[in-house]
Amino acid sequence: MRKTFLLLSAISIFSASCSQYKQFTNPVINQNWPDPTAIYNPDDGHYYSIATGTDRAFMRSADLCEWENTDIHPFEKETVERLKKLGPNVWAPQFAKIDGRYLIYVTARSSAEDSRIVALSSPTVTGPYKFENIITDSKVTGIKDTIDPFAFVDDQTGKVWLVFGSIGGIHQVELTKDGLSLAEGAAYKHIAGQDIEKDNSRLTVFEGSYVYKRDGWWYLFASAGRYNDYSYAIVVGRSRNAEGPFLTKEGKDMVDGYGTAILTSSPYDLFYGPGHDGEIFTDKNGDTFIIYHTHRGNYPAERTKKSHNTRFTNLQRIYWDKDGWPYFKRDEISGDKIRVK
């Protein structure tokens, strides 16, 4: 990646003196780990991941392939108490590093009309993270399902942006330079997906957004469909501007509910319902890999089980065609290799 690229995800280049590839088998996190986020910790050379919920300790990996449980909890006790007072459902955390500090943006939700995004901070990757501020609140903005936050910095302008949303569409708003509050005069912009009350179809829901810059293009990844069945899929659009408009491969605007589908599934696939684009990483070869969550097993059989909503975490390589559009190879969904040295 370019030195000036300040995308606030856990993008890193593996370092070592000789070439070495490691084979991995999906799911790389073989337990319920929905809405994963991960970040590289330069202090100890490991990756750390958290997922939806407040009772989870970090998982840790040296190579993104093999993960282990830890007893390190990311949140201060007071932080957990304050989050739960704001909403019983604490969802979809996202790591970022802004203005020299580590942040976690997280959802606190009671209902679509009573949901908000909160910023937490820590001087180190492993925390503990303290409560900083409520960034945006559906009760104030009227934007239904203010969930699934993702923050990034525009390397051209230095502006900090937050994208978020679900059944009310995906929106974007500018933050202060420290990423802890709304910028002065900040305006909300609808950039993708549709309000389902206008279309009345869960298939139009876009959520789990992630913004990634490559070769001068800003790519908006999103998850479209029903989160708990095989309709869920990863879609994408792109723009030359960090603020959009984000267009599909066919030139259609994502704000109208369009998206170029790049990872889909069928009812009988080994994995179904891929989505919630967690983080994108770059290996020593310059190849890009993404972590995302998915259900396992064929849908007709699994839908009747209590564990039906169990979501595992996969790692998969993203390929890029000659025109710069991302795509996946379906035969690699069960596993692949990644250059770790």
Q: Where are the domains of the chain?
A: 21-339
Residue 4 confidence (pLDDT) above 50 = no
Neighbour tally for 320: CB within 10 Å: 13
Residue 155's alpha-carbon distances to 6, 112, 213, in angstroms, are 6, 33, 9
Q: Which residue has the higher pLDDT, 35 or 296?
A: 35
Residue 96 is classified by DSSP as: E
Write down the pTM of the prediction. Answer: 0.91
Whether 304 shows a pLDDT value over 90: the answer reads: no
| pLDDT higher at 306 or 48 | 48
Query: At 199, is the pLDDT very low, low, confident or very high (cuts 50, 70, 90)?
Result: low
Residue range 294-303, pLDDT digits in tens: 998 877 777 7
| Neighbour count for residue 50 (Cβ, 10 Å) | 27
pLDDT of the residue at 299: 74
Handedness of CA 73, 79, 82, 83 (dihedral sign): negative
Q: 189 and 244 in contact (C-beta within 8 Å)?
A: yes
pLDDT band at 46 (very low <50, low <70, confident <90, very high): very high
Q: What is the mean pLDDT of residues 164-170?
A: 95
Region of residue 125 (phi > 0: left; psi between -120 and 50: alpha; otherwise: beta): alpha
pLDDT digits (tens, 9 = 90+) for 307-330: 667 999 999 999 999 999 999 998
Q: Say yes or no to pLDDT of 181 above 70.
A: yes
User: Could you report the per-residue pLDDT of 117-159, keeping only the tens digit for each?
Assistant: 999 999 999 999 999 999 999 999 999 999 999 999 999 999 9
- Tell me if 169 sits within 8 A of 189, measured CB to CB: no
pLDDT at 178: 98
Report whether pLDDT(12) > 90.
Answer: no
Q: What is the second-level CATH architecture of the domain 21-339? A: 5 Propeller (2.115)
Predicted local distance difference test score (pLDDT) of residue 163:
98
The pLDDT tens digits for 205-245 are 899 999 999 999 999 999 999 888 889 999 999 999 999 99
What average pLDDT is seen over the chain? Answer: 90
Residue 321: both structure tokens together: 């065609």
Question: Can you give the pLDDT at residue 340?
Answer: 76
Helix (H) or strand (E) holding 102: strand 101-111
Q: Where does residue 304 rank: exposed (0-12), middle (13-18), buried (19+ CB within 10 A)?
A: exposed
Report the percent of the chain where pLDDT is more than 70. 90
Residue 251 confidence class, pLDDT cut points 50, 70, 90: very high
pLDDT of 283: 87
More confident residue, 185 or 18: 185
> Distance (Å, rounded) from C-alpha 38 to C-alpha 48?
5
Which one-letter amino acid corresponds to residue 302? E
pLDDT at 298: 74
Task: Kindly indicate the confidence band of residue 200, based on its pLDDT and cuts at 50, 70 and 90.
Answer: low
The candidate with the shortest Cα–Cα distance to 333, out of 64, 24, 34, 30, is: 24
Inter-residue contact 253 to 191 (CB < 8 Å):
no
User: Residue 306: its pLDDT value, please?
Assistant: 63
Give the Cα separation of 10 and 23 in Å (integer): 21
d(CA 74, CA 256) in angstroms, rounded, equals 38
Helix H or strand E encompassing 136? strand 130-137
pLDDT band at 21 (very low <50, low <70, confident <90, very high): confident
pLDDT tens-digit profile of 63-107? 999 999 999 999 999 999 999 999 999 999 999 999 999 999 999
